[in-house]
Structure 1
Amino acid sequence: MVRRTPPRPVAVEEYLPELGSLRREAVRLHPRPGSPSCHESSVGGPLLWPVEEPWPVCDGEPERGVHEPGTPFVPVVQVRREDAPGIPFPPGCDLLQVLWCPFEHGEWCCPLPLVRWRDSAAVTAVREAPPPPADALEDHVPHPCVVHPERVTEYPSWDIPKNLRDVLRDRMEAMERSSGFLFHYHLADAPGIKLGGYPGWTQDPVWPDCPDCGRRMDHLLTVASREYDGESIRTWLPVEDRREVDGRQRASEEASTGTGMMLGDVGGVYIFECRTCPARPTSHWFDCS
Structure 2
Amino acid sequence: MTRTTPARPASVEAVFPELAPYRGRTTRLHPRPGRPGMQDSHVGGPMMWPECEPWPVCHESHRRETEGYAPDEIRIARAAGAWPPSRPWPGTGAPGEDGPVPFVGLAQLFRRDIPGLALGPDGADLAQLFRCPFPHGPYLERRYCLRWRQAGEAGRTGRFLAAPPEVPLLRWEHELPEPCVLHPEEVDTYPWAEDDTLPAPLIACIDAWDDVQAAEHGPDALSYQSDLSIPPGWRVGGFPSWASTGPLAVDCVSCATPMRLLLTAGGGETDARSHSWVPREDRDPSLRGKASICGGASVGDPTRLRFGRDRDLHVFTCPADPGHPPRWVLA
Taking structure 2 as the reference length, what is the TM-score of the superposition?
0.79
Residue 277 in 1 paired to residue 321 in 2?
yes
Partner of 1:76: 106
**In structure 2, C-alpha distance between the alignment counterparts of 1:130 and 1:77, rounded to whole Å:** 14
Question: 164, 181, 187: which is aligned to 1:130?
Answer: 164
Cα distance change, pair 40–19 in 1 and its aligned pair in 2 (3 A): same
Identity of aligned residues (%): 34
SS at match of 1:263: coil
- Alpha carbons of 1:106 and 1:268: their partners in 2 closer, same or farther (altered >3 Å)? farther
CA distance in structure 2 between the aligned counterparts of 1:134 and 1:207, rounded to whole angstroms? 38
Compute the displacement of 1:110 (Å).
4.2
Displacement of 1:183: 0.5
1:136-151 equivalences in 2 (<5 Å): 136=170, 137-151=172-186
Q: Who is 2:305 aligned against? A: 261
2:151 counterpart of 1:120:
yes
- Residue 101 in structure 1 maps to residue 101 in structure 2: no
Alignment partner for residue 95 of structure 2, among 67, 70, 85?
Answer: 67
Rounded Cα–Cα distance in structure 1 between residues aligned with 2:192 and 2:302: 26
Residues 107, 192 of structure 1: CA spacing in aligned structure 2 closer, same or farther, 3 A cutoff?
A: farther
Q: Secondary structure at the match of 1:67?
A: coil
The answer to whether 1:226 aligns with 2:264 is no
Mark the runs of 5 or more structure 2 residues left unpaired by the alignment.
66-93
Letter aligned with residue 223 of structure 2: L
Question: Which aligned pairs between 1:1-289 and structure 2 lie closer than 5 A?
Answer: 1-63=1-63, 65=65, 66-68=94-96, 69-90=99-120, 91-105=122-136, 108-123=139-154, 124=157, 125-136=159-170, 137-158=172-193, 161=196, 164-170=199-205, 173-174=208-209, 177=213, 180-203=221-244, 204-233=246-275, 235-243=276-284, 247=288, 248-252=291-295, 253-287=297-331
Paired amino acid for 2:187: V
Letter in 2 for 1:232: S
Q: Distance in 1 between matches of 2:286 and 2:61?
A: 47
Size of the aligned set, in residue pairs, is: 286
Deviation of 1:131 (Å): 4.0
The structural deviation recorded for 1:121 is 2.0
> What amino acid is the match of 2:102?
P
1:86-137: per-residue Cα shift (whole Å, max 9, x none)?
A: 2221344221111111112367524311111111222222123424312223
Q: Mean Cα displacement is larger for which, 69-78 or 151-160?
A: 151-160
More strand by share: 1
The 2-side partners of 1:144 and 1:121 are apart by 23
Structure 2 CA distance, aligned partners of 1:114 and 1:227? 23
Q: What is the SS of the residue equivalent to 1:103?
A: coil
Aligned equivalents of 1:21, 1:202: Cα separation in 2: 23
When residues 159 and 57 of structure 1 are mapped into structure 2, their CA distance, relative to the original with a 3 A threshold, is farther
Letter in 2 for 1:133: V
Give the secondary-structure state (helix, strand or coil) at the position aligned to 2:188: strand
Distance verdict in 2 for CA 1:155–1:227, change over 3 Å: same
TM-score by length of 1: 0.89
Q: 1:206 touches 1:285 (CA, 8 Å); kept in 2?
A: no
Deviating above 4 A after TM superposition, structure 1's stretches of 4 or more consecutive aligned residues are 244-247
Q: For structure 1, which runs of at least 5 residues remain unmatched after alignment?
A: none
Quote the Cα distance in structure 2 between the aligned partners of 1:271 and 1:162. Answer: 18
Measured in 1, the distance between the counterparts of 2:164 and 2:104 equals 8
More divergent stretch after superposition (18-27 vs 30-39) = 18-27
Code of the residue aligned with 1:49 in structure 2: it is W
Give CA-to-partner distance per residue, 1:3-58, whole Å, 9 cap, x none. Answer: 11012222212332332232221111111111100000000111111122211000
The Cα of 1:163 is off from its aligned counterpart by 6.9
* Residues 140 and 263, structure 1, Cα contact 8 Å, conserved in 2: no
